[in-house]
Structure 1
Amino acid sequence: MTTADRYATFAAREARGVSPAYERLSEAVSRDDELLARIDTLPPAKRQPNLLFAVVRLLGGPVTDPVAFRGYALANWPAVEAELRVRATQTNESGRCAVLLPVLAALPGPLALLEVGASAGLNLYPDRYAYRYGDHPLGTGEPVLDCAISGTAPPARRPEVVWRAGLDLNPLDVTDPADVAWLDALIWPEHGHRRERLRAAAAVAAADPPLLVRGDLVDDLPALAARAPGDATLVVFHTSVLYQVPPPRREAFAEVVRGLPGHWIANEDPDVLRYPALPEQPPGGFHNVLALDGQPLAWTRGHGQAVTWFGSAN
């Protein structure tokens, strides 16, 4: 796939109906030979649309008007390129806990959670957040995670979590203003509710920080998993992470995680982690596949706003 195709696909598949600003930017970049030539000087993993847009946001540039964006990116390309080379998309969307919860709540507790690609670890607190599945509230406090659910009943409880740890090549610290600024920059322009949710989730994590370990998802996963308490159910999970991992390493990771005790929850793009004979995606935009121990269970929206169950009842 060319870089132009990558930006056009992002506009049509991920941004449409979710972020009009990013849809416009992606379409414009896909037709801009000068910008594309600059982007193509970067390693493939650094050419992502949402990474470029987040870097420009972080630097204070415009991301709602394609003409202004183009002018800023070209005029400030050395600074933009420098940030692109050291940054990665580490969107830490706590809203994804709402689509994980139906699986987590059904597992035998207490749970020891280990997130791969944890960023700042905000998805390690499904037991601390409140939820609203349509007309069904669950828990109290902030943030409140709204999620449309169909095909299964809303979860009736939150799990008991006794250990939480994250593995990431570059863990972020919610008590560091620079790291929080990057997390904020990764949120799409129109999504004020997600910024409020970030602040509330960051406060939860800062009050009881998780164990975050710098490491590789294949080489360092077994050692971290071995630190989980033996009397808890180990749950290794990840959401929208494996697209950043080359295919051979994805396969190596799957082999490692299948060899661990406990359970494996994946919430990934169906083109990245493939399953046979999936049902048709629901309408309304891009969906991930939620799976438990390699068994696909549901379609989920990228920021946790909806889950459509199709697997066996939990």
Structure 2
Amino acid sequence: MSTATRYADFATRYARYLSPEYERLALAVSRDRDLLALLDTLPPPKRQPNLLFGVVRFLGGPTDDPAAFRDYVLASWPAIEPEMRTRATQTNEPGRCATLLPLLSALPQPLALLEVGASAGLCLYPDRYGYRYGDRTVGSGSPVLDCTVTGLEPPARAPEVVWRAGLDLNPLDITDPADLAWLDALIWPEHQHRRERLRAAAEVAKAEPPLLVRGDLVDDLPALAARAPKDATLVVFHTAVLYLVPEPRRKAFIELVTALPGHWIANEDPGVISYGDLPDPPSGTMHMVLALDGEPFAWTLPHGQSMTAIPRR
């Protein structure tokens, strides 16, 4: 996929309906030869829209006007380029816990959670947050995560978590102001509610920091999984991570995780993991597939806003 196509695809499949600002920006970049030429000097994984837009926001540049953005990127490329080469899109969206909760609550308790691509580990606290599924509330913690559910029953309780750990190539420290600022920069401009819950979730993690291990999702997963308590149900999970992993490593990870004891929860773009024939997703923006042990369970929106049941095959 060319860089121009990548940005146009991001505008129409990801940003539309969710971020008009990023939709305009991505479409403008997709048509700009000068910006595309700069991006094409980077390795393909580093050309992604979320990374460019996040770096510009992190450095204090404008994203609300495509012309001003263009001028800033062309003038500031010497500062932007090294940031894009060294950083990664590590969006740590605690709202995704609202879509994980129905699966986690239904598994044998207590749980030992192991997140792959954990970033700062904010999705490792599904038992500490509060949830609102229409008129059903679960838990009493903060932040309160809203999620619309269709075709399935909201969970009646939060899970019991006795161990939590994360694996990441570059784990972030939620107590480090610079790392927190990077997570803030990755949140889309219009999503102030996500900034508020990022900070609320950060306070939860600061009170009891998770075990975060720097490592590879294939090479280092077995050793970390072996550290989980034997009297707890191991759950290896990931959300919007595998699209960043080259296909051979992705296949190796899937083979590995399916052989581990316990359960595997994936919440990924439908093109990342093959599930055979899937029904059409709900209309609107791009949906992800939430699956348990390789069996599709629900369509979800990327930030945990909604989930729609997928009939069992």
TM-score (norm: length of structure 2): 0.99
Alignment length (residue pairs): 313
**AA partner of residue 32 (structure 1):** D
Match of 2:237 in 1: 237
How far apart in 2 are the matches of 1:264 and 1:311?
Answer: 19
User: Does the alignment pair 1:65 with 2:86?
Assistant: no
SS in 2 for 1:105: helix
Match of 2:31 in 1: 31
Match of 1:142 in 2: 142
How far apart in 2 are the matches of 1:71 and 1:163?
Answer: 48
Match of 2:212 in 1: 212
Residues 88-138 of structure 1: CA deviation (Å, up to 9, x unaligned): 000000000000000000000100000000000000000000000011111
Moved over 2 A (4+): none
**Shift of residue 312 of structure 1?**
4.0
Residues 244-278 of structure 1: CA deviation (Å, up to 9, x unaligned): 00000000000110110000000000111121110
Match of 1:170 in 2: 170
Match of 2:249 in 1: 249
Match of 1:113 in 2: 113
User: Does the alignment pair 1:278 with 2:278?
Assistant: yes
How far apart in 2 are the matches of 1:44 and 1:124?
Answer: 30
**Shift of residue 141 of structure 1?**
2.6
Structure 1 residues without counterparts, runs of 5 or longer: none
How far apart in 2 are the matches of 1:266 and 1:40?
Answer: 31
Match of 2:7 in 1: 7
Structure 2 residues without counterparts, runs of 5 or longer: none
The within-5 A match list for 1:218-233 is 218-233=218-233
How far apart in 2 are the matches of 1:66 and 1:275?
Answer: 38
8 Å Cα contact 2:16-2:23 kept in structure 1: yes
How far apart in 1 are the matches of 2:43 and 2:274?
Answer: 25
Match of 2:154 in 1: 154
How far apart in 2 are the matches of 1:123 and 1:85?
Answer: 26
Match of 1:194 in 2: 194
Match of 1:302 in 2: 302
Residues 5-58 of structure 1: CA deviation (Å, up to 9, x unaligned): 000000000000000000000000000000000000000000000100000000
**Shift of residue 74 of structure 1?**
0.5
SS in 2 for 1:28: helix
How far apart in 2 are the matches of 1:90 and 1:177?
Answer: 15
Match of 2:56 in 1: 56
How far apart in 2 are the matches of 1:168 and 1:22?
Answer: 27
SS in 2 for 1:76: helix
How far apart in 2 are the matches of 1:58 and 1:267?
Answer: 27
Match of 2:104 in 1: 104
8 Å Cα contact 2:296-2:312 kept in structure 1: no
Match of 1:265 in 2: 265
SS in 1 for 2:141: coil
